[in-house]
Structure formats: C-alpha cells, structure tokens
Amino acid sequence: MPPASDADRPSSDFSSRNLVLVADTGGTKTAAWLVDLAAGGSHCVLGEARTSAGNPLSVGFEKATQAIHDALSQAKQSALLGEQRVAQAILSIAGAANRDMTQRFIAWAQKVSFAHRVAIVSDVLPILAAGTPDCCGVALIAGTGSSAFGRAQGGAIKRCGGWGYLLGDEGSGYALGRAALQLALRSLEARDLSDNLAAAVIEKHSVKTVTELTRAIYGSGDPRHAIAALAPLVCAAADDHNSHAIEFLNRAATDLAELAARAARAVDVADSGFPLAISGGLLIGCVALQELLRSELIRRGLNCEINVVREPLVGCVRLADPKFASLVNWHDCI
C-alpha cells in the first residue's frame, strides 16, 4: 500500500471519497495515514505522518493524545485535506485493552472530532488483521514491551501479557536491553571489558564507571525507552557469536513462544495449525530472534505459519472493512 505520489494525490473535492484516518501508537513512535477506501477493495494512502511515542502507559495520557493529535493533523496536511472531517478514524493504542483507558480516548476523540465516527482498538488487533487471512489466529508483539492476542473462528478472543515492564514484558526489547545493561554493569564492576556486548553498551553511553552508567539510565527522560533501545546491540552481538547475546535471545524466544502458546491455548487453536502474525520493532528487526522463535514453537509442537507484519497501519485500514464490524466498536462524534 504505497503512499500516493503528488501527481496522484487530489488536492480538493474530498466529499465524494470514503476517507479514513488510521493511527498506530507505540513506545517509541506514533504513525498515521489518511487513506482513501476506494471501491473494489483497493486502498490509496493520501497522507502520512510520524510523531513521538503515544503509549499512555509509558508517556502518560496527555502526551499520548498530543502525539496522536499531531500525527493525525500532519497526515491530513500531507494529503492537503485541511480542517475537513473525514468519515471515520481507527486509533490503535497500546493500553486500549483497559476499559477505562479506552473510554478516556473515546471522549478525547469525540472532543477533537477528527472524524464523524471513531473506533479505539488495542495495539494487537491490527497485527492480527494484517497478518492473518480472516483475522483469526494469534498476534504476537515484541517491541519495547510484549503481548499476544488470540482469536478463534467462533469469535473467542483472549489477550495475554501486556502487563508492562514492572510486571511482565518478557522477551521484549526492554527485557533484552536490561540483560545487556546488567552484563555491562558487571563488566564495569570487574574492570573487564573483554565482552563485546558489554563494551558496546558502555560505548553507546560514553561512560567509564558503574555510577556513570546507572546515572545515564536513571537520569534519562524515559528510562524504559533508553533500556529498550539497547536491544539492537544484543541482536548485533549475537550475529557476532557473542555467547551472552545468544543466551539472551534464546531466553527471549522461549518467553515469546510461551506467550504465543498461552494465547493459542486460551482460544483453543493450539492443537491445530494456525497463523501467527508477529510484529514490533524487536521482532521485525532481529531475524535471529525470529528464527529462534520459530524453532521454539516447533519444539513445543505448535504448528504455526509465521507472517511478519511490518506496518500495523495496514491492519488498521483492514479493520475499517465492514466484514470486520464485529471486532470494532464505533462511536459517533458530534
């Protein structure tokens, strides 16, 4: 679904178009598209935008709504739409599985009134929509945090994990980054920087002592993000055959396979073949982790067809299709 070129993008007369705004929030960014839902199932991205983190659980409700507001506004500006309201908006928000949080976002969306009607969905539902033929199976996200979501053909649904870094997020970027930090701190204590992963963490923060490294993390504006940002160093070190990095990735694969298995068992698809849609910055960016996850799922006897979802907004657009009306709760905006 490539963005429209300047030649293809209309600059006026949007009234006859079925336009939808979609936004996806996460621990590191918020992305948005303005899409023309053309007849025949073809979709055209008219405008797009990317802003700051929009996960209310990590940045707070006010910053989250500001990031979403900015992304939606920029997407409309990119399409030369101006202030005109669109037909509908689907906002995928981490934390939207919580009913109270969802109600807060609905009230906010109705107040700012970007669209005539709005739907708030959890961050895993678009992954399932984009990575499975009929929005049935299991979606697994591993980015800054981790969570899974299962849906059976009969409509049974179950979310697993997503408890946040204090209580969960096993197999996530945060978990990998924390393991790498602990390795670096032990290396600094022992004054032994021979391990290349520990050395990479220390070099990234330009520190020489335990005190300097702990101060760099605790003193950052968003310690959770600062820790998760170290996960790519683990993946790179594993590619260089670092034993600690390989150990950390194996642990992450085990944790993520267990998370996916819990979701599959909860909706009774674990004993049959099912599609597994995977996404999140960590899983998308770390091929080694994908392969370890695949091996661990096979070891557990889970017959999965793994599909990598690189753009959750594709799933948001698909959820606007009337055939998925049972999955999306729409709310009118006056």
pLDDT per residue as tens digits for the range 242-297:
999 999 999 999 999 999 999 999 999 988 889 999 999 999 999 999 999 999 99
d(CA 73, CA 326): 28
Number of residues that this document lists for the chain: 334
> Cα(77)–Cα(37) distance, rounded to whole angstroms?
18
CA distance 322 to 27: 30
Spatial contact of 253 and 296, defined as CB atoms under 8 Å apart? yes
Instruction: Round to whole Å and give the CA distance between 301 and 278.
Output: 18
Listed residue (114, 174, 106) closest to 145, CA to CA: 174
Q: Which two tokens stand for residue 264?
A: 């599959």
pLDDT band at 10 (very low <50, low <70, confident <90, very high): very low
What is the Cα–Cα distance from 140 to 37, expressed in whole angstroms?
Answer: 27
Q: Which CATH superfamily is domain 131-302 in?
A: ATPase, nucleotide binding domain (3.30.420.40)
Q: Is 84 left (phi over 0), alpha (psi -120 to 50) or beta?
A: beta
238-243 contacts, C-beta under 8 A, 24 or more apart: 238/288, 239/288, 240/196, 242/195, 242/196, 242/197
What pLDDT, on the 0 to 100 scale, is given for residue 310?
92
- The confidence band for 8, taking pLDDT boundaries of 50, 70 and 90, is very low
Q: pLDDT band at 328, cuts 50/70/90?
A: confident
Record the tokens describing residue 4, joined without a space.
């429209």
Report pLDDT digits (tens) over 107-142: 888 888 888 888 988 888 899 999 998 889 999 999
pLDDT in tens, 92-109: 987 666 788 888 888 888
The separation between CA 200 and the C-alpha centre of its own chain, rounded to angstroms, equals 26
Q: What is the mean pLDDT of residues 183-210?
A: 95
Tell me the residue type at 50: R
Neighbour-count burial for 269-284, b at 16+ CB within 10 Å, e otherwise: bbeeebbbbbbbbbbb
- The answer to whether 23 and 32 are in contact (CB under 8 A) is yes
Secondary structure class of 134 (helix, strand, coil): coil
CATH 3.30.465.10 fits 19-123+312-332, yes or no: no
Please name which of 290, 274, 286, 23 lies closest in space to residue 132, comparing C-alpha atoms. Answer: 274
Q: Would you state the torsion angle of the CA atoms of residues 198, 201, 205, 207, taken in this order, to the nearest 10 degrees?
A: 0
Residue 196 exposed, middle or buried by CB count within 10 Å (0-12, 13-18, 19+): middle
> How far apart, in whole angstroms, are the C-alpha atoms of residue 287 and residue 108?
38
What pLDDT score does 289 carry? Answer: 96
| Chain center to CA of 266 | 22
Beta bridge partners of 332: 117
Domains 19-123+312-332 and 131-302 share a fold: yes
Domain boundaries, the chain: 19-123+312-332, 131-302
| Cα–Cα distance for residue pair 135/157, rounded to 1 Å | 11
Decide which of 34 and 56 is more confident: 34
Instruction: Pull the structure tokens for residue 144.
Output: 């800054």
